[in-house]
Amino acid sequence: MNIKANNLHFSYGNDEILRDIDFEITEPKIYGLLGRNGAGKTTLLSLLGSFRVPTSGQILIDSEQPFENARIMQDVTFMYDKDYTGESDSPSTIIKYLKRYRPNFDLEYAESLLKKFKLEGKKSVSKLSKGKQSAFNVVVGLASRSPITIFDEVYLGMDAPARDLFYKELLQDQELHPRIIILSTHLVSEMEYLFDEVIIIKDGKILLHEQNDRLISYGITVVGNKQAIQKFSEGKNVIHEEQLGDTRSITLFGELSTAERASAKELRLDIAPVSLHNLFIHLTEEGN
C-alpha cells in the first residue's frame, strides 16, 4: 500500500492545525513521526486513520480517499491512548472479536503477546492499570498485521521493560511481516534505532522527510576557539550554538565536504556527529 498527501490542510474553526502538508510513503518501513506538543502529529495520524476528513487538499491511500472507505479502513490500524472506561471484557475476549473485523489479524500471535505482557487474566480492560492498557494497545496493533499500522504514543504508562519488549516484538514482526508502520513519539533517544525514515512536523507543516541514517549524517557539532568557529561557520546552516569563555560549540545542519573537513582540521576544530534526539530538538527550536 502507499500513502500520499497533497496540499493537505486541517482546521478547527479558525485555528489552522495542519497546512501545506505534502509527503509520500511507498515502502514497508518503520517511519518515525516527530514533533513537539501541538505540532499536529495526532491530527495528521487521525486523518490517516479515517477519524477525520481534511479541511482542504487530500490524503490518499492506494489512490483512494480513506474516510468511510471500507476496503481501505480494514487495512489501516490506528492505535492511540484510548479511554477504556466502561469496557467490561477482558483482553483475551476482545482479541477474539477483533479477528472478525481485521482480515490480517493473527489471533495466535495476539494470545502469545498477551502472555508476554502478562495480560492473559480475566480482569476487564477498564480495570487494568494505565501501563497494562497501553500494552494491550500494543498487542492489538502488532497482531493486526495491517498493511498500515499506526502507533500514536502508545507507550504512555508502560515501564521500561514493557517498552523494551514492545520494541523487540516490533522489529521481529516487521522482519517477518513487512508493512508500513508509523510511530509517533516523544521518546526520540529511546526509539530512534527503530526508524528507517523520519518525518518531522513543526507548526503544522512538514519540516523534513528523510532516511534516518542520512538525516543523522546531516547533524554535525563543531567545537573550538570562538574566532575559528566564527570563520568556519560563515555561510553554513547553524541551528544551535553555545559558548563558554573562548570556547564555542555550534551545531550545523548539512553535509560537510572533504575540503570543509580539512579546513576544520587546520583550524583545530573538533567535529562530532549529533544524535537524532538532539537534532530534533535543535531543528524544532523557536527561531529555526
What is the three-class DSSP state of 97? Answer: helix
Please tell me the pTM assigned to this model.
0.93
Which CATH superfamily is 218-283 part of? BMC (bacterial microcompartment) domain (3.30.70.1710)
Interval 106-165: pLDDT, tens: 999 999 999 999 998 889 999 999 999 999 999 999 999 999 999 999 888 899 999 999
For cell 555550534, the residue is: 250
Strands ordered across the beta sheet of 3-12:
15-25, 3-12, 56-61
Per-residue confidence at 223, pLDDT binned at 50, 70, 90? very high
- The three cell numbers locating residue 259: 575540503
In the structure, what pLDDT confidence band is assigned to residue 95 with cuts at 50, 70 and 90? very high
Beta strands in the chain (DSSP E): 3-12, 15-25, 30-34, 56-61, 76-79, 148-152, 180-184, 197-202, 205-211, 219-225, 238-244, 247-253, 270-273
Instruction: Confirm or reject CATH 3.40.50.300 for domain 3-203, answering yes or no.
Output: yes
Q: What is the pLDDT of residue 129?
A: 93
Q: Note whether 3-203 and 218-283 share their fold.
A: no
- For the segment 159-169, what is each residue's pLDDT rounded down to a tens digit? 999 999 999 99
* Extents of the domains making up the chain: 3-203, 218-283
Residue 76: all three cell numbers together: 489501516
Q: What pLDDT is attached to residue 120?
A: 87
